[in-house]
Amino acid sequence: MKLVKNIQSTAKKVLHEEAEAILKISEKIDNNFEACVNHLLNARGRVVITGVGKSAIIAQKIVATLNSTGTPALFMHAADAIHGDLGMIQDGDSVICISKSGDTPEIKVLVPLIKRTGAKLIAMVSNTNSYLCKHSDFILNACIDKEADSLDLAPTTSTTVALALGDALAVCLLECRGFSSQDFAKYHPGGALGKKLYLKVSDLYPLHELPIIQENSSIKEAILEISSKRLGATAVVDTNQDLTGIITDGDVRRMLNEHDTLIGLSARDIMTPSPKTINADAYATEALQLMQSKNITQLIVVEQMKPKGFVHLHDLLKEGIV
């Protein structure tokens, strides 16, 4: 096995060259790119992305990004297209063909077939003098000076630039459509990311019994309510069942330090008035932000000042929100 010298230097060189290539390609974003975005915004069909080799892998990633950000897309392998998969192109679709050279045999066979379907053809290509460019309706310039490997052969810089250009395209479409975090949540319901976007307080507070006492309840009743419901706190309400305060474990400890006897004391005497609350339809992330900003571990869920339940920091931890 040949020992490679200066491994760190080689790695840094690759990263610097690929980063520089992305910066250079950003300077080539022009009216052609904008025209392509506008076409895709107004097209009634889907985006079909095709390529061969490493370009096909990049195409699949761009398809995934477009689908998750509101632009319907699908992948078509260029080699399979000429053996039946071309039938996936429907009326109104647009086809993005990714190729470094734009002159491979597969591309030269595929391009006329795509044009015959009536679909608009978009070239994402490094060689702007290629066969693919000459027969495309729109061009996404992915030009590079060289690949990052010492032989200038392995698809490295070219695939990185194509991937970044695909991201730029997807984000432009996303922003032009006014795609919101709620829209994003529709396509990402699973995992911690999805939960951050769609999980609401109403999904969490019913997991617990509501600890609640009256203002005139005894200290013993308050302690028993806190202990039995195991949330470390209890809501305090007046005769109209409106929330007036909260008693936490900390309030009980402070009360024991400040009073020699519990006789004559009621919940009203030791509660913290005007506690922090949140509405049931608020997102769980809002609850987390409020807890963090106030340095507390629970919030009372209210509806028109009537306590409905508690949401605790532990609930957010269990759901992976934190």
Q: Is 275 exposed, middle or buried (0-12, 13-18, 19+ CB in 10 A)?
A: buried
Cβ contact 205:301 at 8 Å = yes
Q: How far apart are CA 187 and CA 198, in angstroms?
A: 11
Cβ contact 145:18 at 8 Å = no
Q: How many helices (H) and strands (E) does the chain have?
A: 14, 12
C-alpha separations of 218 from 192, 223, 229, 237 in Å: 42, 9, 17, 13
Q: How far apart are CA 143 and CA 25, in angstroms?
A: 7
Residue 77 annotated as part of some ligand binding site: yes
CA angle 184, 187, 192 (to 5 degrees): 80
Q: In sequence order, what are the residues at sequence separation of 6 or more whose Cβ sits closer than 8 angstroms to the Cβ of residue 165?
A: 25, 124, 140, 142
Cβ contact 313:298 at 8 Å = yes
What is the DSSP code string of 97-110? EEESSS--HHHHHH
CA atoms within 13 A on the CB side of 233: 24
User: Residue ranges for the binding site?
Assistant: 77
User: Residue ranges for the binding site for Zn(2+)?
Assistant: 77
